[in-house]
A and B are shown apart, each in its own frame.
Chain A
Amino acid sequence: MDGVDGPEAALSLENVSKTFPRGEGRVEVLKGISLEIRKGRVTGLIGPDGAGKTTLMRLAVCLLEPDDGTLTVMGMDAAREPLAIQSAVRYMPQQFGLYEDLSVQENLDLYADLQGVAPSDREERYAELTQMTRLGDFTDRLAGRLSGGMKQKLGLACTLVRPPELLILDEPTVGVDPVSRRELWSIVSRLVEEEGMSVLLSTAYLDEAEKCDEVILLHEGEILGQGPPGDFTKEQEGRAYWVKPPAEKKRDVQWRLSRRDGVVDAVIQGDGVRVVMGHDEEPDRDALLQDGEDFEFEPVDPRFEDSYVAILQSRRDEDAKDMAAEAAPQRSDASERTNVDKSGGESPGESPGGGPPIDVENVRRRFGDFYAVKDVSFSVDHGEVFGLLGANGAGKTTTFRMLCGLLPASGGKLRVAGLDLRRAAAKARARIGYMSQKFSLYGNLSVMENLKFFSSAYNLKGKQRRDRIDWALEGFDLKKRAEAESGQLPLGYKQRLALACALMHEPEILFLDEPTSGVDPMARREFWDVINALAGAGVTVLVTTHFMEEAEYCDRLAIMVAGEILALGAPAEIKARAGNSKDEPAASMEEAFIALIEDSSA
């Protein structure tokens, strides 16, 4: 298993390309890539949705055949020995592959049968696995009744009933809370250290890249880079800075900084803004901070995300000169136009009943004998960006649906735009915009047809309707794609279109349910630019997210666990509360989240 007599590579690809039919033609998902993954290491496959990660993994376990090129898995040719490969390699698909109407034990038994584990070896192996995954107390529970994190661990246990030489995990941490994510990582590193296993896993979380021994950066079917994560970050050495404005809103500062020449990336981090400078730019504090002499300005260690964004940014600059309008200039376009339009419209500051735009008091929601939301209270001010954080099943979506008037509350008070949702749900709905997780668009209508439909659904007519459609096409840079079928758009564009549709009737309150999940970091940045601009124009924004770093973009946020609010406040306050005994605040929102959850369950 330590590769003495085998070749060094656990997996090697040579010129592998793969296309899938779509519409009339074929899309190229992998464009002739070559790579080697070494034994006894954790290799991370990093890239946004649609980069080709899942296809690459399915090729490696012989679920797909390449159009061209050769794959060698543990020294075996994938074209010739698929069954032998499948008994040496274990693969966990994104949905974990569990039978939900079988119990934990029955799932384990099934996979032990399928993997050919001798009955005499089972007891010992099960004991190891249940101890490792801490599922020992739940062996009789149906898999369908487990929480997301437990399902993921059971999926992993089923994959590991017979220890494989190579373990392949497809986005094992998606939709799983940070605590379970951390547990999964500790299991994976133990497997590599103690059993000498080779692991290939894909992830959309950039912070997880730093936990890998080696990272492969995949983007639109091409490899942008491969190496230890440290090598990537080293390139950004001396280019990352942290800027802290004394009084000003950090969102405004971030907006200004992101527009400066030579700035590759500017994101909100903690109380300040993290800035990454381009390679040919000599970082100059004075040039950067023309208008802020009293700003704190200090160099910080680069992280993987900095280099990721830098690489993607440089690619955009290189091969998209004609599409230049799509990247940086688009940002300002969208934001400025929204600014102008909002200020010209009706002032959102006046709610009929007065009071905050969103006011939630002791709201409960029961499904059968199960409380999805229990005693939740919070309120959101004008122009505030308020975040709801929590793992799947924490009650975020239920809270959201109640606020949009889609689901009646079982108890408590809900006021949106000053209107009681029990009495005036329809009236309140006319003042809110809602963008759902799945971007409720009509996939087989064109961009233009979707805009027309949504504007008529919100009762816009004549000139007003034409103006709003023009605003959406220009502000969100959809003009060139107006006739494109919206189902075929890249994810980032779909998301823009969905947001444009939700903003058609100039709502004063905007609800965004996981708007950025599965969207690549670049599109996420652009998206937040628009959100910030809207908030600047006085629109109240309520957003759910499971990206912990996005929580920092919010003015205030609530962390939900099992239907209850565990913590409520500004990001800095929450991090301070979750800090350690020496009164040091938690270093990141993720740490704060984990600490809060562990406190509450202890």
Chain B
Amino acid sequence: MKQQSAPGGFRRLRGLVRKEFYQIVRDPSAIAIAFLMPVGLLILFGYGVSLDAKHVPIAIVVETPDAAAADLTRSFEMTDYFDPVRMPNMPAAADALTRHRVDAILHLQGNFASRLHEKEGAPIGVVINGVDANTARLISGYIEGIWLKWLGDRARSEGFELSMPVDLRHRIWFNAEVRSRNFLVPGLIAVIMTLIGALLTAMVMAREWERGTMEALLVTPVTMREIILGKLIPYFILGMGGMALSVAMALWVFDVPLRGSIWMLTATSALFLLAALGMGLLISIAAKNQFVAGQTAIVVTFLPAFLLSGFLFDIGSMPEAVQFITHIVAARYFVAILQTVFLAGDIPSVILPNAAALVLMAAIFLGLSRKKARKRLE
């Protein structure tokens, strides 16, 4: 049967692919999903969501103003991380903290200058608003960093021994500026590609059912394999276009470095897109109207990709049961690959196992779709 359908089969497939492209061009919804959505999401997340703390408002309370206190205050004013406000006393500062006008208080006690050189350590107090634990941790780290640097500088210039053995040398690898955007954007691309891949195929298949054109297609001599390929080819191309756009935005709008090769990026994206399109096809076999298909695609692909892929929340710190579940989220492997290719380079020991997982998932989803899709109405 396969041999017999070969020449006619090619013509049928070409007809289906051409039809799909006409529809893509004339119905703006597919173009919107493939191109406008990545741009919108990248702008929203690239600019809107940042895990860095910058220009954090803090209150500085200096009980006895002197040269040392002024010098320390100045070094807080010099950085981008903080926007310090001077407060006359602790109650005023505490009030500002409860009113959310500042996120932290730096308290330089009365005998600050004299106790600087004592063995018990520094007479400064720090109060941080801990409601957002993540930001609180960041603020605490920044304050400590500035404090230690100031101490070190002062020790060197005045030639005294530091009471504590501080010799801190930070070397941050792969993301030297510690920009969370560099880490978020590649992960975000993976999430976007999940949505594009699954949503596109699920919706366009459902549209054929809804408009009754699927019934007409099924009664032609076309085979199910041709119908599936006729959907995969156009939306694969469209999805790769969306991917290219996302990468271009990452590189030139968000200044994310690309340390790996473009070939590795293309090859792994193609693998992931196949898995995502396969998920969409599988959804479309169960959901035969566009609303259900769209909702299902969002719930079973986008949400897990968002929460369980390690793009925003570290998989290693999840409970073990949840960690186990992340293994069936295709985006997880792609997030790992993209973060590596963008920030570290083509590192086979990371990319190969993840790529193998993607191959497996694509094979499972596409294979299942092929097996479940029958030329029948029920």
Per-residue interface assignment for chain B, residues 356 to 378, with 1 indicating a CB less than 8 Å from any chain A CB and 0 otherwise: 00000000000000000001111
Residues of A within 8 A of B18 (CB): 109-110, 113
Residues of A within 8 A of B215 (CB): 63, 93, 95, 97
Residues of A within 8 A of B16 (CB): 110, 113-114
Binds B, one of A99-107, A339-347, A534-542, A579-587: A99-107
Inter-chain contact A101/B23, CB cutoff 8 Å? yes
Nearest residue (CB) in B for A117 is B11
Residues of B within 8 A of A83 (CB): 1, 221, 223
Closest Cβ of chain A to B183, distance in Å, is: 41
Inter-chain contact B218/A63, CB cutoff 8 Å? yes
Binds B, one of A84-92, A318-326, A351-359: A84-92
Q: Which of A63, A93, A101 sits near B375, CB closer than 8 Å?
A: A63
Residues of A within 8 A of B14 (CB): 113
Q: Which of A58, A92, A101 sits near B22, CB closer than 8 Å?
A: A101
Contacts known (A82-B375, A83-B1, A95-B211); A110 close to B216, Cβ less than 8 A: no
Residues of A within 8 A of B15 (CB): 109-110, 112-114
Inter-chain contact B12/A113, CB cutoff 8 Å? yes
Inter-chain contact B376/A65, CB cutoff 8 Å? yes
Residue from A93, A100, A113 with most neighbouring chain B CB atoms (10 Å): A113
Inter-chain contact B220/A114, CB cutoff 8 Å? yes
Per-residue interface assignment for chain A, residues 231 to 252, with 1 indicating a CB less than 8 Å from any chain B CB and 0 otherwise: 0000000000000000000000
Contacts known (A62-B375, A110-B18); A116 close to B219, Cβ less than 8 A: no
Residues of B within 8 A of A63 (CB): 215, 218-219, 375-377
A313 at the interface (CB under 8 A from B): no
Residues of A within 8 A of B12 (CB): 113-114, 116
Inter-chain contact A102/B221, CB cutoff 8 Å? no
- Complex Cα distance, B215 from A94, in Å, reads 10
Residues of B within 8 A of A100 (CB): 211
- Complex Cα distance, B215 from A114, in Å, reads 14
A328 at the interface (CB under 8 A from B): no
Closest Cβ of chain A to B115, distance in Å, is: 77
Residues of A within 8 A of B212 (CB): 93-97
Residue from A87, A101, A142 with most neighbouring chain B CB atoms (10 Å): A101
Inter-chain contact A99/B213, CB cutoff 8 Å? yes
Q: Which of B19, B27, B223 sits near A106, CB closer than 8 Å?
A: B19
Closest Cβ of chain B to A41, distance in Å, is: 21
B353 at the interface (CB under 8 A from A): no
Inter-chain contact A101/B26, CB cutoff 8 Å? yes
Contacts known (A63-B375, A93-B212, A113-B12); A99 close to B19, Cβ less than 8 A: yes
Place the interface of chain B in its size category.
20 to 34
Inter-chain contact A97/B213, CB cutoff 8 Å? yes
A160 at the interface (CB under 8 A from B): no
Residues of B within 8 A of A112 (CB): 15
B65 at the interface (CB under 8 A from A): no
Inter-chain contact A115/B221, CB cutoff 8 Å? yes
Inter-chain contact A97/B217, CB cutoff 8 Å? yes
On chain A, the number of residues with a Cβ less than 8 Å from chain B's Cβ atoms is: 36
- Mark out the residues of chain B between 14 and 61 whose CB falls within 8 Å of any chain A CB in the assembled complex: 14-16, 18-19, 22-23, 26-27
B88 at the interface (CB under 8 A from A): no
Closest Cβ of chain A to B224, distance in Å, is: 10
Inter-chain contact A116/B221, CB cutoff 8 Å? yes
B222 at the interface (CB under 8 A from A): yes
Nearest residue (CB) in A for B10 is A113
A111 at the interface (CB under 8 A from B): yes
B141 at the interface (CB under 8 A from A): no
- Complex Cα distance, B8 from A158, in Å, reads 18
Inter-chain contact B219/A90, CB cutoff 8 Å? yes
Q: Which of A86, A94, A95, A106 sits near B219, CB closer than 8 Å?
A: A86
Closest Cβ of chain B to A123, distance in Å, is: 16
Closest Cβ of chain A to B376, distance in Å, is: 6
- Complex Cα distance, B245 from A578, in Å, reads 64
Contacts known (A96-B212, A113-B12); A91 close to B219, Cβ less than 8 A: yes
Q: Which of B22, B221, B375 sits near A114, CB closer than 8 Å?
A: B221
A432 at the interface (CB under 8 A from B): no
Closest Cβ of chain B to A442, distance in Å, is: 19
Residues of B within 8 A of A91 (CB): 216, 219
- Complex Cα distance, B18 from A99, in Å, reads 13
A519 at the interface (CB under 8 A from B): no
- Mark out the residues of chain B between 193 and 239 whose CB falls within 8 Å of any chain A CB in the assembled complex: 211-213, 215-223
Residues of A within 8 A of B223 (CB): 83
Per-residue interface assignment for chain A, residues 155 to 192, with 1 indicating a CB less than 8 Å from any chain B CB and 0 otherwise: 00010000000000000000000000000000000000
Per-residue interface assignment for chain B, residues 328 to 347, with 1 indicating a CB less than 8 Å from any chain A CB and 0 otherwise: 00000000000000000000
- Complex Cα distance, B23 from A142, in Å, reads 11
Contacts known (A94-B212, A101-B23, A114-B12); A64 close to B221, Cβ less than 8 A: no
- Complex Cα distance, B213 from A94, in Å, reads 10
Inter-chain contact B378/A64, CB cutoff 8 Å? yes
Q: Which of B8, B27, B216, B221 sits near A97, CB closer than 8 Å?
A: B216
Inter-chain contact B222/A114, CB cutoff 8 Å? yes
Inter-chain contact A102/B22, CB cutoff 8 Å? yes
Residues of A within 8 A of B23 (CB): 99, 101-102
A98 at the interface (CB under 8 A from B): yes
- Complex Cα distance, B376 from A86, in Å, reads 12
- Mark out the residues of chain A between 35 and 69 whose CB falls within 8 Å of any chain B CB in the assembled complex: 58, 61-65
Q: Which of B11, B19, B26, B216 sits near A93, CB closer than 8 Å?
A: B216
Q: Which of A20, A87, A94, A109 sits near B221, CB closer than 8 Å?
A: A87
- Complex Cα distance, B377 from A114, in Å, reads 19
Residues of A within 8 A of B378 (CB): 20, 64
Inter-chain contact A110/B377, CB cutoff 8 Å? no
Inter-chain contact A111/B211, CB cutoff 8 Å? no
- Complex Cα distance, B218 from A61, in Å, reads 9
Inter-chain contact A102/B377, CB cutoff 8 Å? no
Closest Cβ of chain B to A103, distance in Å, is: 8
- Complex Cα distance, B99 from A272, in Å, reads 88
Contacts known (A99-B19, A102-B22); A86 close to B211, Cβ less than 8 A: no
Residues of A within 8 A of B222 (CB): 114
- Complex Cα distance, B378 from A64, in Å, reads 7
- Complex Cα distance, B1 from A65, in Å, reads 21
Residues of B within 8 A of A93 (CB): 212, 215-216, 219
Nearest residue (CB) in B for A99 is B213
- Complex Cα distance, B11 from A110, in Å, reads 10
- Complex Cα distance, B219 from A567, in Å, reads 43
Residues of B within 8 A of A99 (CB): 19, 22-23, 211, 213
- Complex Cα distance, B208 from A100, in Å, reads 11
Closest Cβ of chain B to A112, distance in Å, is: 8
- Complex Cα distance, B16 from A112, in Å, reads 11
- Complex Cα distance, B26 from A467, in Å, reads 56
Closest Cβ of chain A to B211, distance in Å, is: 7
Nearest residue (CB) in B for A88 is B221
Contacts known (A101-B23, A109-B15, A110-B18); A92 close to B216, Cβ less than 8 A: yes
- Complex Cα distance, B222 from A112, in Å, reads 12
Closest Cβ of chain B to A174, distance in Å, is: 13
Contacts known (A94-B212, A114-B221, A115-B220); A58 close to B19, Cβ less than 8 A: no
Q: Which of B22, B211, B217, B377 sits near A64, CB closer than 8 Å?
A: B377
**25 chain-A/chain-B pairs, Cβ below 8 angstroms:** A20-B378, A58-B377, A62-B376, A63-B377, A64-B378, A82-B375, A86-B219, A86-B221, A87-B220, A89-B219, A93-B219, A95-B211, A96-B216, A99-B19, A99-B211, A99-B213, A102-B19, A109-B15, A110-B19, A111-B220, A113-B12, A114-B15, A114-B217, A116-B221, A158-B216
Interface contacts beyond A106-B19, A113-B16: sample of 5 additional A-B pairs, CB < 8 Å, sorted by A = A93-B216, A99-B23, A101-B22, A106-B22, A110-B18
Binding site for A on B (CB under 8 A): 1, 8, 11-12, 14-16, 18-19, 22-23, 26-27, 211-213, 215-223, 375-378
A-B pairs with the 10 shortest C-beta distances? A97-B216, A113-B15, A95-B212, A87-B221, A114-B220, A101-B26, A116-B8, A93-B215, A91-B219, A61-B219
Binding site for B on A (CB under 8 A): 20, 58, 61-65, 82-83, 86-87, 89-102, 106, 109-116, 142, 158
